[in-house]
Structure 1
């Protein structure tokens, strides 16, 4: 049981001071200073101590948790297996399928085949697919097609390809019909060993099986477990 010190100071007592001749005496003051009394303080039950410690710990942890939320430290903006970059989430599917089936798989996840909107985004994607490629034809579908009108390339959202922001490999697109008489109406990307100029888009038959890149916006409300 802990002890608490209680201090009483300048305590005065009155007593009669007798005369030598036996006559009445006057009162004399006696002062005792710094009188200290130790008192026992009752201990809290063990379970109350535990609860108190827990409350103190919670008060300490809460500011840290709040700071993580503010800085994004506890936020998971992309699902498992998706790569965050520039406010978007990317999924590099290694399943080989036609362009149409690849797009359908992306849409089932809430996204679509990737739409490339900047040089910086193209650079990020080129580096990622380069690391996934094991042979020259090991390319990835992107969300670009001219299947509606030959030569008019559109993204999956219906927007036209910006001619100032294209990354076609030299000689592409060529609409080669040697394998598919319908020509090459879908775009894929990737160059084994890398493309220093970032130009690694190729048109191909939409029926060819290839890997693919899905894309969707980040979700700031999704928390990391």
Structure 2
């Protein structure tokens, strides 16, 4: 990791097998942070049978400040949300969210309360528009994986009846008012699709930590 002058405000870590053909999925929890290292807990989400060792690839997002501006919406679930201003293709929306220290929406999309809060908050913006979520089967057809490298579960799914439709070119997902559709990742004009970014609410995190000390 990068050696920082002080302990970061927050750290987001995700992990996956370096050999992307392996089906194993992991969840990473940050237990403690230091200025030059971190202690993380790795949970394997699939069967633990049949492996002696495995090479993993990690991605770290380090937040050194909680200053983000006042144009993010805070529903109180530990994350912040912001719509990108223009209709766009999936890859550009994902990259733009990463530039803002976030990702395409994951946790707010699978929380019914937060999802409705967002759609009510941005009702006028979403008029006749949809938004990309951080879910694709780009790596392997039919295996839907969130952008935090964890598999979608049955309880999280909001597919429209008949979706996903099985088309090999439909590898990305848009959320409408009522359901998900799997679509071509680059046909943005057809779907009037915006990017919805999600990132940690560092102010809420630090307030919670201060209250615990």
Change (3 A) 1:213 1:134: same
Select which of 138, 151, 156 maps to 1:147.
138
Query: Does the CA-based 8 Å contact 1:77-1:218 persist in structure 2?
Result: no
Summarize deviations over 1:75-114 as a string: whole Å, max 9, x none. x986321100112100012312111110000000100101
Change (3 A) 1:129 1:183: farther
* 2:171 aligned with 1:185: yes
Change (3 A) 1:173 1:77: farther
* Residue of structure 2 equivalent to 1:218: 201
* Residue of structure 2 equivalent to 1:83: 73
**Counterpart Cα distance in 1 of 2:118 and 2:84:** 13
* 2:104 aligned with 1:125: no
Aligned residues: 133
Summarize deviations over 1:129-187 as a string: whole Å, max 9, x none. 5442332xx210010101111111111111100111211122211144xxxxx521001
**Counterpart Cα distance in 2 of 1:151 and 1:158:** 15
Change (3 A) 1:164 1:189: same
Q: Tell me, what secondary structure is at the counterpart of 1:81?
A: coil
Runs of 4+ in structure 1 off by over 3 angstroms are 125-131
Scaled by the length of structure 2, what TM-score is found? 0.56
* Residue of structure 1 equivalent to 2:149: 158
Select which of 111, 118, 127 maps to 1:134.
127
**Counterpart Cα distance in 2 of 1:143 and 1:202:** 13
The structure where helix makes up a greater share of residues is 1
Structure with the greater alpha carbon radius of gyration:
1
Q: CA RMSD in A?
A: 2.3
**Counterpart Cα distance in 1 of 2:94 and 2:67:** 22
Compute the displacement of 1:190 (Å).
1.6
> Structure 2 unaligned runs (5+)?
1-65, 208-213
* Residue of structure 2 equivalent to 1:17: none
Change (3 A) 1:134 1:121: closer
